[in-house]
Structure 1
Amino acid sequence: MEGNAFSIRSKKTLKQADGRPIFNIQNKLLSIHDHYLVYNANESTESEPLCVIKSHFSVTGAKIDVAFRNAADGREVVFDLRGSFFDRSAEITCNGQPIARISREFMNAGELLFDQQTYYLTVAPGVDVAMMVALCVCMDEKQNEV
């Protein structure tokens, strides 16, 4: 992942292990709730986003909705992420079925020495791992605001 904390015009780029970009995550300007737009890394932000990630306020924790069009059949798909700000864990569902889980290890050496958090992402077979990583990044950004 390349990029600084989200600001008004910032973006983050998710890259493959060999350094090739997969997609960009950009904070949408001037929205009531946080909106993140995900674009193919090879396309400009003037194009249609691959998906829209909407973060909603919740007293108890993270609430994020993801909407995108399935490239295979053209239908709209919605994922729901629900989690806890306190333990930074979440479950991602599609039509009520769990498809991924995010959890975090507290106070490990990376966090204590380098201010780097470690997350664990468990993804069901057949689910796009890169999309789940993007959700993890957006959840972390939202929780860092609290």
Structure 2
Amino acid sequence: MAFQLAPVPQPISVWNQFLARQTETLILREKVLSLSGDSFDITLQNGQPILKVQGKVMSISGRKSVYDMAGTHLFDIVKEHLHIHATYAAVDPNGRKMLEVKSSFALLGSKATATFTNASNGATESLKMKGNWFDSAADIVDERTGFVVGRIDRKLLSGRDLLFGQQTYALTVAPNVDLALMVAMCICMDEKNNENKGGIF
């Protein structure tokens, strides 16, 4: 069902404890009838839960809080205002910005760039994500090396995964890449596109 991505030469991470040891496919599934706003369950392809995302009702910034399975609050995803292009950030519980995702114009689909400080070497990293409306897929590419570090693809999902019209994404992550970072990028893109027509695709 899933495909393999080549390992990246150097770790790409914000949260080192979530580095993928092999190609991993995550399933991001929006909870049906969630009372707290857009909330997601995030599992490995085998069904093992890995992260929880809870939306905040009546939040002006559309805040979503991300937790590990022990209940530790990792970060919040918030919309930043006063930008020309839609911009989202992941901020830690102390309010420190860990990641910024800025959208830009694309003729077909969605395009966004994420910038962050790599926890493994302190370098500023830039990942570019571009989605294709017709293929219902998006690649996440390391701008420095050209490596595909992640891929969002709804075609990997079965009809069972797409019941009730909730947003469901398959997110494949390359070895040596931070799973939580890729999840944060996916949710930022989902937020941006929900403003337009509902969902990344």
Q: Give the shorter-chain TM-score range.
A: 0.7 to 0.9
Q: Gaps (5+ residues) in structure 1?
A: none
Give RMSD over aligned pairs.
2.3
- 2:106 is the counterpart of 1:58: yes
Return the alpha-carbon distance in structure 2 between the equivalents of residues 6 and 26 of structure 1. 13
Distance in 1, Cα, partners of 2:135 & 2:73:
30
Q: Which residue of 122, 126, 134 corresponds with 2:176?
A: 126
> Relative contact order: is structure 1 or structure 2 higher (C-alpha 8 Å, sep ≥ 6)?
2
Paired position in structure 2 for 1:37: 89
> Would you say the 8 A contact 1:54–1:65 is kept in 2?
yes
Q: Is the 8 A contact 1:110 1:117 kept in 2?
A: no
**How many angstroms apart in 2 are the aligned matches of 1:58 and 1:83?**
9
**Which residue matches 1:85?**
133
- In structure 1, what residue type is equivalent to 2:139? E
Cα distance, 1:142 vs structure 2: 2.2
Deviation at 1:67, TM superposition (A): 0.7
Q: What is the count of residue pairs matched by the alignment?
A: 141
TM-score w.r.t. length of structure 2? 0.62
- Aligned-pair CA distance for 1:4: 5.0
User: Structure 2, unaligned stretches of length 5 or more?
Assistant: 1-52
**Distance in 1 of aligned mates of 2:154 and 2:71:** 25
TM-score normalised by the chain length of structure 1: 0.83
1:100-146 Cα distance to aligned partner (Å, 9 max, x none): 11111578346442x32221111111100001001111122222214
Question: Counterpart of 2:159 in structure 1: which amino acid?
Answer: N
Please tell me whether residue 101 in structure 1 is matched to residue 156 in structure 2: no
